[in-house]
C-alpha cells in the first residue's frame, strides 16, 4: 500500500508544473518569435497573426481574436500602421518603435520583452505588435468581449437602495466601486491566481483606514495559493479562511457594490475575483451577516423592529422544529393544555414518532428547496404546486403528517429566508437536522447541548483576527449601536472599533437635526413667503405673517 | 500514511462519534413519550370507601377534540371525556390500578382540578395534598374542591354543555365566579399556604350537580340540517319536553380545621367569609326600598377588609373593618336615590346586610373553632409574645373571641342615570 502511495506521490508532486517556462525574452528575429507563439498556442483557432510589410520594416500583429475588439484592430491599429507607408521611416528599430507608439491611436500600450508577460497579455485580450530586428514588442490594450450588463443583484434584494449589482467582468465591478467611492485613497491591488486560469484577483481597500496587519495577512494568504484554477470567489474563500471545517461562512460575500463600499468605509478589505459577481469581504462576522443594506437606508426606529424579527428568525430557523419535537415527545407539560390536546388529536393517525416526522418533513423540504434552485424556470410553478399540495395538504389528509408539523416546518422555512446572506442561511439549515435529532433523543437537554456546542464553536471562530461574534463576544459597548438597534446616523459616531480604529470618527458629532433659533427665524420667513405665494389660504397666511412680524421685531 | 498525528486525530474523532451515536440509541425508553400516546387527565376525584381510596380519573377522549377536521359546525360541544376508576389502600395504588385499564400512559401534568369527596375530607386532606405535591407531574396550580357525598358521582353524572371536560369547566368557573362574591376556587398551593398559616384552617368550595332545564329546541338535528322539510311533518317543529342537563355549580363551602372537614358554610356564609378575606371582587346586594316591599340592587365594586385583634381590659377583642363601595344598578321602586338621605339609608342597609353575612359565617366558624378569618395571623403580627402563649389553644380562644364588625359602606354611583324613570316625567 505504502509503495503505491509513494509512487503516486512522486508522480504528482504539487508545484511540478512551474510557470517559469516562459521566462525568456523574445528574440530579434520575427520568424522565430512567431514560431514560438505558434508553438505555444498550438492549433488555436482564434490566434491571429497578421504580418505587415512597411518600407524597410516587417511587423507582425498577433492577437486572440475572441478577446479583442475587431473594430479597434482595423480602425486604430491597421489604419495607423498603413498610414506610415507614406512617410519615411527611421532605420533604427528603437526609434521606429517610438514612432509607432506615437502614431498608434491606442490608449494603453506598453513595451515588453519577456515571453511570460507577452503571453499573459495575449490571454488578457491584448494585441502584440512585434517588429523585425527589435528585441521588445508592444502590447496594445484592445480588449473587447461579450459582457453581461450590470443588473439588479439576484440574491441580495433590497427594497430601498441602489439596484446595481456586480457583474462577472472585473473592470465593470471596479468601476461600480470607484463610482461610489471617489477617494484617491481607494486601492485596487491586482494579482493573478490560478496556474492555468490566471484569474485576476483584486484586493480592494481604503488606504489610511485599513489595518496594515490584516492587509499583510491577506496578501500572505493569497500569495500562498497555488491552484490550477479559480472559477469563483468560493475557491479563494476556502483557501484563505481561518476555520476551514466550520459550517459558518467566515468571510462576508456580497454582490452589492453599495454594501461593499460600506464595508470598505468600516476599514474592511474586499477581494474581487474576475469572472464572478461575488466579492469577499473580510474580516467577516456573524452579526454583520445578519445586517441588510436596507437597515441603513430606511428610517432607523423601524430598523430596530425589522432587525429584531430577523434575529428572531435565525433562532426560529435553527430551533423551531427541534423545540416542537422536544416539547411533544418529552415536555408535554410545557405546552398549554388546549394546544397539547389539539396536537395529540392531530397526531392520532400519524404512524411515526415526532422526530421521524420532523426529519422526513425537513429532508423533503430541503430537497424541495434544492430542486427549486436547480430546476429550469419553466417548470418551477409545477414543482411549487406539487410541493405545496403534496407535502402541505395531501400528506396531512392522508394521515402521514400532522398539520402542526407542516406549520412548524413551513414557519421554519420562511424564517430561514429572513437571513440576508445565503451562506449563513445554508449553515443554519444544515445545523437544523442534527438539532432535530438531538431534540428527538434528549429533549430540551439535547437542544441545549447542541446550542452550547454551536455557541462554543462560534466564540472560538476568528476571521482574520476579528472574533466571529465580535460586538457580542468580546462585548464592545460602542458597537451595540449597530447590532440589533441601529442608531440614526448622527449618533453612530464611530466606525466599528475592531476594524476602523485608525480613523475612528465616522461622522462629525452634533449633527442631530434640530432647529436653532436662527434657523427658526429663517424657517418662519420661508413659511411666510410660501403663504403669500399661496394666496388662497388666507387664515393660514395671517397666522404666518404674525409670526413673521414677531420674528422681525425680535 | 498522512502522519501519525493526523491518523490519531481521525481515530479520536471517529471513536468519539461512534460513542456519541451509540449513546443516543442507548437511552432506550427512559423519558420519551409521544404526545399521542398520552391520556391527558383533565380532572380527578378522590374518595374514601371504607379503607379503600377510590380514585376516578377523567381523561380527555383522544382525538375527540381539536384536530381541525372534526368539531366544526354549530353542534354543542358534548362532554368528550372518558372515565377510569381504581381503588387501593393508597392513592398511588389506586392510580396504578387505573394504569392497568388504560392503553395509554396516564399523563397528569395537565390536570385542571381535583375533587375531594366528603368522606375523604373528613378523614383528612393531608394524603391528597401529599399525593399531589409529591407527584412530579401534578402541579400546585391544580384547583381543588370539595363535594357533598362522593366526588366520583359528580364526575360520572355531570354532562356539561359548554366545555368538553369537567376540568375545563372548573377552570373556567374559577375565572368568573369571584365576580359573584359567592365563590372562589383555590388551587393546591393556596390550600397548602392556608393550612400552614397560624390558625391552620382553610375553606374549600363545594361543587354540586345542578340539573338545569335545557332550553327546548325545535325538531331534531337531522331535520334542522335538511331545512326544507320543516313544518310538513306533524311531529317536526313541535316543542319537545324540556330536558335537563346536569351541570355543576358552586354551592357553599367546607370549613377545615387543620386538614379535616369540620363544618359546612352555606352560600351566604361563604360570601360572609369572603368579605373578610378580601375574596369578593364584585357582589350584588338586594336592598329594600323604603316603605314598600320592592327591591334595589347594589353592585359592590370595591371591598377592603382589615382584621385585627386588640387587647382591651385584659381580654382579646377581634375587629373586622370593612370598607365597601357600591353602585346602584337596579331599582324597582320610584324613590329618588339622588337625594342624600335616600343614599344614606341604602348605605346603612348595605352595611347591615354585609354585617349579617359576616357574623353568620363567623358564628359557624366559632362553633367549630376554626379560625378561617385570619385572627390568629393578625394577633401573631400584632402581639407575637401573646400569640406564642395562645398558639396551642387558639381554637378554644377563637371560640370565645368577641368580634366587632364595622362595615363602612358607600354608594358612589347610580349607574348611567340618576332619578328612576317614571311615566310622564317630563
Class of domain B268-421 (CATH, top level): alpha beta
Among the listed ranges A1-10, A136-145, A447-456, which one has the minimum average pLDDT value?
A: A1-10
ω into A474 cis (within 30 of 0): yes
Q: What is the pLDDT of residue A540?
A: 45
Q: In terms of CA atoms, which chain A residue is nearest residue B22?
A: A441
Higher pLDDT, A554 or A8: A8
Does B408 touch chain A if contact means CB atoms closer than 8 Å? Answer: no
Q: What is the pLDDT of residue B234?
A: 45
- What's the mean pLDDT in A433-446? 91
- What's the mean pLDDT in B43-51? 93
Q: Rounded to whole angstroms, how far apart are CA atoms A252 and A293?
A: 13
How far does the CA of residue B40 sit from the closest CA of chain A (Å)?
7
* Nine-digit cell string for A506: 465616522
Q: What is the pLDDT of residue B263?
A: 94
Q: What is the pLDDT of residue B113?
A: 94
Q: What is the pLDDT of residue A549?
A: 46
Whether residue A316 lies inside any domain: the answer is yes
ω into A283 cis (within 30 of 0): yes
Q: What is the pLDDT of residue A20?
A: 59
CB contact under 8 A, A341 and B60: yes
Size (chain A), residues: 554
Does A2 touch chain B if contact means CB atoms closer than 8 Å? Answer: yes
The tens digit of pLDDT for each residue in A346-358 reads 888 888 889 999 9
Residue in the block written with cell 363551602: B253
The tens digit of pLDDT for each residue in A372-430 reads 888 888 887 787 787 777 777 888 888 888 889 989 998 999 998 899 888 999 999 99
Same domain, yes or no: A273 and A309: no
Cβ-Cβ contacts under 8 Å, A403 against chain B: 68
The tens digit of pLDDT for each residue in B266-320 reads 999 999 999 999 988 889 999 888 777 888 899 999 999 999 998 888 889 999 9
Q: Rounded to whole angstroms, how far apart are CA atoms A477 and A283?
A: 19
Q: What is the pLDDT of residue B72?
A: 39
Q: What is the pLDDT of residue B117?
A: 95
Among the listed ranges A250-264, B92-106, B210-224, which one has the minimum average pLDDT value?
A: B210-224
Q: What is the pLDDT of residue A7?
A: 61
Question: What's phi and psi for A404, nearest 5 deg?
Answer: -60, -40
Q: What is the pLDDT of residue A435?
A: 94
Q: Which of B118, B110, B7 is nearest to B54 (CA)?
A: B118
Among the listed ranges A335-339, B24-28, B153-157, which one has the minimum average pLDDT value?
A: B24-28
Q: In terms of CA atoms, which chain A residue is nearest residue B25?
A: A441
Q: In terms of CA atoms, which chain B residue is nearest residue A356?
A: B34
Does B13 touch chain A if contact means CB atoms closer than 8 Å? Answer: no
Among B65, B112, B168, the residue with its CB nearest the CB of A345 is B65
Same domain, yes or no: A329 and A279: no
- What's the mean pLDDT in B159-185? 84
A221 with A242: CB under 8 angstroms?
no
Q: Report the greatest alpha carbon distance in chain B.
A: 112
| Whole-number Cα distances in Å, B306 to A334, B194, B324, B407 | 39, 17, 12, 10
Higher pLDDT, A11 or B36: B36
Q: How confident is the model at residue B214 (pLDDT cuts 50, 70, 90)?
A: low
A470 with A482: CB under 8 angstroms?
no
Q: What is the pLDDT of residue A74?
A: 86
The gap between the terminal CA atoms of chain B, to the nearest Å, is 111
CB contact under 8 A, B31 and A443: yes
Q: Which of A254, A255, A263 is nearest to A164 (CA)?
A: A255
Mutate to test the interface with B, among A1, A6, A344 (most CBs of B within 10 A): A344
| Whole-number Cα distances in Å, A122 to A21, A29, A129, A139 | 16, 19, 11, 8
Name the DSSP class of A83.
Answer: H
Q: Report the greatest alpha carbon distance in chain A.
A: 102
Among the listed ranges A73-77, A347-351, A415-419, A538-542, which one has the minimum average pLDDT value?
A: A538-542
- What's the mean pLDDT in B175-179? 82
- What's the mean pLDDT in A471-478? 88
DSSP A42-82: -S-TTEEEEEEEETTEEEEEEEETTTB-HHHIIIIIIHHHH
Query: What average pLDDT does the structure give for chain B?
Result: 83
Q: What is the pLDDT of residue A551?
A: 45
State which of A126, A141, A156 marks the end of a domain.
A141
Among B35, B70, B137, the residue with its CB nearest the CB of A344 is B35
Q: What is the pLDDT of residue A313?
A: 93
**Domains held by chain A: number:** 4
The half-sphere exposure of B394 on its side-chain side, counting CA atoms within 13 A, is 27
Residue in the block written with cell 325538531: B219
Q: Which of A127, A147, A453, A413 is nearest to A275 (CA)?
A: A147
Cβ-Cβ contacts under 8 Å, B110 against chain A: 332-333, 337, 340-341
Mutate to test the interface with A, among B2, B36, B140 (most CBs of A within 10 A): B36
Does B64 touch chain A if contact means CB atoms closer than 8 Å? Answer: yes
Among B24, B38, B168, the residue with its CB nearest the CB of A344 is B38
CB contact under 8 A, B64 and A345: yes
B154 with B117: CB under 8 angstroms?
no
pLDDT of residue B62 exceeding 50, the answer is yes
The three-state DSSP-derived secondary structure of chain B is: CCCHHHHHHHHHHHHHHHHHHHHHHHCCCCCCCCHHHEEEEEEEEEEEECCEEEEEEEEECCCCCCCCCCCCCCCCCCCCEEEEEEEECCHHHHHHHHHCCCCCEEECCCCCEEEECHHHHHHCCHHHHHHHHHCCCCCCCCEEEEECCCHHHHHHHCCCCCCCCHHHHHHHHHHHHHHHCCCCCCEHHHHHHHHCCCCCEEEEEEEEEEEEEECCCECCHHHHHCHHHCCCCCCCCCECCCEEEEEEEEEEEEEEECCEEEEEECHHHHHHHHHHCCCCCCEEEEEECCCCCCEEEEEEEEEEEEEEEEEECCEEEEEEEEEEEEEEEEECCCCCCCCHHHHHHHHHHHHHHHHHHHHHHHHHHHHHCCCCCCHHHHHHHHCHHHHHHHHHHHHHHHHCCCEEEEEEEEEEEECECCCCCCCCCC
Domain spans, chain B:
35-63+76-215+245-265, 268-421
pLDDT of residue B253 exceeding 60, the answer is yes
Q: How confident is the model at residue B7 (pLDDT cuts 50, 70, 90)?
A: low
Higher pLDDT, B372 or B218: B372
Q: What is the pLDDT of residue B44?
A: 95
A469 with A483: CB under 8 angstroms?
no
B143 with B170: CB under 8 angstroms?
yes
How many CB atoms lie under 10 A from the CB of residue A63? Answer: 24
A248 with A456: CB under 8 angstroms?
no
- What's the mean pLDDT in B118-125? 94
Does A340 touch chain B if contact means CB atoms closer than 8 Å? Answer: yes
B386 with B311: CB under 8 angstroms?
yes
Q: Which of A361, A355, A447, A363 is nearest to A403 (CA)?
A: A361
Its domain, for residue A114, covers 20-141
Q: In terms of CA atoms, which chain B residue is nearest residue A348?
A: B36
**Touching A: B residues 82-101, CB under 8 Å:** none
Whether residue A472 lies inside any domain: the answer is no
How far does the CA of residue B368 sit from the closest CA of chain A (Å)?
40
| Whole-number Cα distances in Å, A172 to A274, A535, B60, B103 | 10, 53, 68, 71
How far does the CA of residue B212 sit from the closest CA of chain A (Å)?
27
State which of A403, A432, A467 marks the end of a domain.
A467
* Nine-digit cell string for B150: 362522593
B187 with B141: CB under 8 angstroms?
yes
**Touching A: B residues 123-162, CB under 8 Å:** 137, 139
Whether residue A476 lies inside any domain: the answer is no
Does B172 touch chain A if contact means CB atoms closer than 8 Å? Answer: no
| Whole-number Cα distances in Å, A204 to A186, A198, A320, A374, B111 | 7, 19, 40, 33, 66
Q: What is the pLDDT of residue A389?
A: 77
Greatest mean pLDDT among A405-409, B6-10, B163-167? A405-409
Q: What is the pLDDT of residue B27?
A: 58
Whether residue A255 lies inside any domain: the answer is yes
CB contact under 8 A, A332 and B107: yes
* Nine-digit cell string for A382: 409545477
Cβ-Cβ contacts under 8 Å, A341 against chain B: 40, 60, 65-66, 110
Q: Rounded to whole angstroms, how far apart are CA atoms B49 and B117?
A: 10
Q: What is the pLDDT of residue A109?
A: 83
Among B1, B27, B109, the residue with its CB nearest the CB of A332 is B109
| Whole-number Cα distances in Å, B170 to A115, A299, B44 | 94, 50, 12
Q: What is the pLDDT of residue A310?
A: 92
Does A328 touch chain B if contact means CB atoms closer than 8 Å? Answer: yes
Specify burial of residue A328 (Cβ count, 10 A radius: 0-12, 13-18, 19+): buried
Whether residue A481 lies inside any domain: the answer is no
Same domain, yes or no: A175 and A119: no
**Touching B: A residues 278-317, CB under 8 Å:** none
CA torsion B23-B26-B28-B30 (nearest 10°) is -50
Q: Rounded to whole angstroms, how far apart are CA atoms A375 and A385?
A: 14
Cβ-Cβ contacts under 8 Å, B33 against chain A: 329-330, 332
Q: What is the pLDDT of residue B54?
A: 94
Query: What average pLDDT does the structure give for chain A?
Result: 86
Q: What is the pLDDT of residue B313?
A: 83
The tens digit of pLDDT for each residue in B341-389 reads 888 988 999 999 999 999 999 999 999 999 999 999 999 999 999 999 9
How far does the CA of residue A282 sit from the closest CA of chain B (Å)?
30
In chain A, what percentage of residues exceed pLDDT 90? 38
Q: In terms of CA atoms, which chain B residue is nearest residue A327?
A: B35
CB contact under 8 A, B110 and A348: no
* Nine-digit cell string for B245: 342537563
Same domain, yes or no: A397 and A543: no
Amino acid at each position: 500500500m505504502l509503495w503505491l502511495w509513494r509512487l503516486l506521490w512522486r508522480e504528482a508532486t504539487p508545484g511540478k508544473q512551474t510557470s517559469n517556462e516562459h521566462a525568456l525574452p523574445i528574440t530579434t528575429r520575427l520568424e522565430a518569435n512567431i514560431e514560438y507563439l505558434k508553438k505555444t498556442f498550438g492549433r488555436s483557432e482564434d490566434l491571429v497573426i497578421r504580418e505587415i510589410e512597411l518600407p524597410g520594416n516587417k511587423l507582425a500583429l498577433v492577437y486572440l481574436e475572441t478577446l479583442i475588439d475587431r473594430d479597434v484592430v482595423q480602425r486604430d491599429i491597421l489604419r495607423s500602421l498603413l498610414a506610415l507607408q507614406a512617410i519615411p521611416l527611421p532605420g533604427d528599430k528603437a526609434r521606429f518603435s517610438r514612432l509607432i507608439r506615437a502614431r498608434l491611436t491606442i490608449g494603453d500600450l506598453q513595451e515588453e520583452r519577456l515571453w511570460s508577460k507577452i503571453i499573459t497579455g495575449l490571454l488578457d485580450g491584448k494585441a502584440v505588435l512585434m517588429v523585425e530586428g527589435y528585441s521588445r514588442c508592444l502590447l496594445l490594450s484592445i480588449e473587447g468581449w461579450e459582457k453581461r450588463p450590470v443588473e439588479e443583484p439576484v440574491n441580495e434584494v433590497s427594497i430601498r437602495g441602489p439596484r446595481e449589482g456586480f457583474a462577472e467582468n472585473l473592470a465593470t465591478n471596479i468601476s461600480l466601486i470607484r463610482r461610489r467611492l471617489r477617494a484617491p485613497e481607494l486601492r485596487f491591488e491586482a494579482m493573478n491566481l490560478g496556474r492555468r486560469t490566471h484569474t485576476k484577483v483584486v484586493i480592494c481597500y481604503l488606504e489610511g483606514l485599513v489595518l496594515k496587519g490584516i492587509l499583510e495577512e491577506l496578501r500572505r494568504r493569497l500569495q500562498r495559493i497555488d491552484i490550477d484554477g479559480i472559477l469563483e470567489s468560493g475557491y479563494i474563500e476556502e483557501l484563505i479562511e481561518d476555520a476551514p471545517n466550520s459550517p459558518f461562512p467566515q468571510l462576508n460575500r456580497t454582490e452589492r457594490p453599495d454594501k461593499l463600499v460600506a464595508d470598505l468605509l468600516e476599514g474592511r478589505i474586499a477581494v474581487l475575483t474576475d469572472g464572478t459577481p461575488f466579492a469577499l469581504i473580510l474580516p467577516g462576522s456573524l452579526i454583520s451577516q445578519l445586517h441588510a443594506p436596507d437597515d441603513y437606508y430606511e428610517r432607523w426606529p423601524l430598523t430596530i423592529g425589522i432587525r429584531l424579527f430577523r434575529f428572531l428568525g435565525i433562532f426560529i430557523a435553527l430551533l423551531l422544529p427541534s423545540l416542537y419535537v422536544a416539547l411533544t415527545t418529552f415536555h408535554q407539560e410545557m405546552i398549554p393544555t388546549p394546544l397539547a390536546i389539539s396536537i395529540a388529536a392531530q397526531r392520532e393517525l400519524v404512524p411515526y414518532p415526532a422526530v421521524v416526522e420532523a426529519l422526513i418533513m425537513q429532508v423533503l423540504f430541503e430537497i424541495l428547496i434544492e430542486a427549486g434552485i436547480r430546476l429550469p424556470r419553466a417548470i418551477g410553478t409545477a414543482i411549487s404546486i406539487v410541493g405545496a399540495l403534496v407535502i402541505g395538504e395531501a400528506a396531512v389528509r392522508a394521515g402521514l403528517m400532522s398539520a402542526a408539523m407542516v406549520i412548524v416546518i413551513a414557519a421554519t422555512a420562511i424564517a430561514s429566508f429572513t437571513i440576508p446572506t445565503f451562506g449563513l442561511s445554508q449553515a443554519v439549515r444544515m445545523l437544523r437536522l442534527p438539532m432535530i435529532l438531538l431534540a428527538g433523543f434528549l429533549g430540551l437537554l439535547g437542544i441545549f447541548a447542541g446550542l452550547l456546542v454551536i455557541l462554543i464553536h462560534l466564540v472560538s471562530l476568528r476571521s482574520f483576527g476579528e472574533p466571529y461574534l465580535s460586538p457580542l463576544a468580546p462585548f464592545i459597548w460602542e458597537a451595540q449601536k449597530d447590532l440589533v438597534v441601529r442608531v440614526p446616523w448622527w449618533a453612530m459616531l464611530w466606525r466599528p472599533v475592531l476594524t476602523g480604529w485608525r480613523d475612528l470618527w465616522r461622522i462629525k458629532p452634533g449633527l442631530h437635526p434640530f432647529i436653532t433659533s436662527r434657523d427658526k427665524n429663517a424657517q418662519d420667513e420661508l413659511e411666510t413667503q410660501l403663504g403669500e405665494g399661496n394666496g388662497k389660504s388666507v387664515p393660514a397666511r395671517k397666522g404666518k405673517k404674525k409670526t413673521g412680524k414677531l420674528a422681525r421685531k425680535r | 500514511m498522512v502522519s501519525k498525528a493526523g491518523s490519531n486525530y481521525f481515530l479520536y474523532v471517529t471513536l468519539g462519534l461512534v460513542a456519541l451515536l451509540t449513546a443516543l440509541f442507548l437511552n432506550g425508553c427512559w423519558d420519551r413519550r409521544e404526545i399521542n400516546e398520552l391520556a391527558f387527565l383533565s380532572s380527578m376525584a378522590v374518595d374514601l370507601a371504607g379503607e379503600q381510596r377510590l380514585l376516578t380519573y377523567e381523561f380527555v377522549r383522544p382525538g375527540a377534540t381539536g384536530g381541525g377536521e372534526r368539531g366544526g359546525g354549530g353542534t354543542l360541544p358534548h362532554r368528550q371525556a372518558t372515565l377510569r376508576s381504581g381503588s387501593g389502600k393508597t392513592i398511588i395504588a389506586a392510580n396504578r390500578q387505573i394504569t392497568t385499564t388504560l392503553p395509554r400512559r396516564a399523563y397528569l401534568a395537565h390536570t385542571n382540578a381535583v375533587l375531594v369527596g366528603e368522606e375523604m375530607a373528613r378523614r383528612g386532606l393531608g394524603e391528597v395534598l401529599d399525593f399531589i405535591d409529591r407527584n412530579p407531574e401534578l402541579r400546585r396550580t391544580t384547583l381543588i374542591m370539595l363535594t357533598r357525598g362522593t366526588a366520583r358521582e359528580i364526575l360520572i353524572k355531570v354532562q356539561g354543555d359548554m366545555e368538553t371536560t369537567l376540568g375545563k369547566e372548573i377552570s373556567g368557573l374559577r375565572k368568573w365566579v369571584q365576580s359573584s362574591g359567592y365563590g372562589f376556587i383555590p388551587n393546591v398551593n393556596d390550600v397548602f399556604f392556608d393550612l400552614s398559616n397560624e390558625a391552620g384552617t382553610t375553606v374549600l368550595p363545594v361543587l354540586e350537580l345542578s340539573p338545569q332545564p335545557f332550553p327546548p329546541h325545535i325538531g331534531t338535528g337531522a331535520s334542522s340540517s335538511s331545512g326544507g322539510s320543516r313544518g310538513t311533518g306533524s311531529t317536526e317543529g313541535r316543542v319537545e319536553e324540556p330536558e335537563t342537563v346536569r351541570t355543576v355549580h358552586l354551592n357553599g363551602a367546607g370549613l377545615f380545621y387543620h386538614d379535616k372537614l369540620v363544618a359546612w358554610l352555606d352560600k351566604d356564609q361563604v360570601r360572609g367569609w369572603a368579605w373578610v378575606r378580601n375574596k369578593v371582587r364584585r357582589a350584588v346586594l338586594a336592598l329594600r326600598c323604603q316603605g314598600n316591599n320592592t327591591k334595589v340592587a347594589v353592585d359592590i365594586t370595591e371591598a377592603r377588609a382589615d382584621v385585627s385583634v386588640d387587647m382591651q381590659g385584659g381580654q382579646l377583642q377581634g375587629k373586622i373593618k370593612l370598607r365597601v363601595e357600591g353602585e346602584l344598578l337596579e331599582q324597582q321602586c320610584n324613590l329618588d336615590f339622588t337625594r342624600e338621605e335616600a343614599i344614606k339609608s341604602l348605605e346603612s342597609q348595605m352595611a347591615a346586610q354585609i354585617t349579617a353575612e359576616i357574623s353568620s359565617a363567623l358564628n359557624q366558624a366559632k362553633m367549630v373553632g376554626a379560625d378561617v378569618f385570619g385572627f390568629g395571623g393578625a394577633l401573631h403580627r400584632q402581639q407575637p409574645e401573646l400569640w406564642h402563649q395562645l398558639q396551642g389553644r387558639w381554637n378554644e380562644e377563637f371560640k370565645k373571641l368577641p368580634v366587632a364588625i364595622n362595615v363602612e359602606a358607600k354608594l358612589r354611583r347610580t349607574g348611567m342615570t340618576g332619578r328612576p324613570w317614571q311615566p310622564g316625567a317630563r
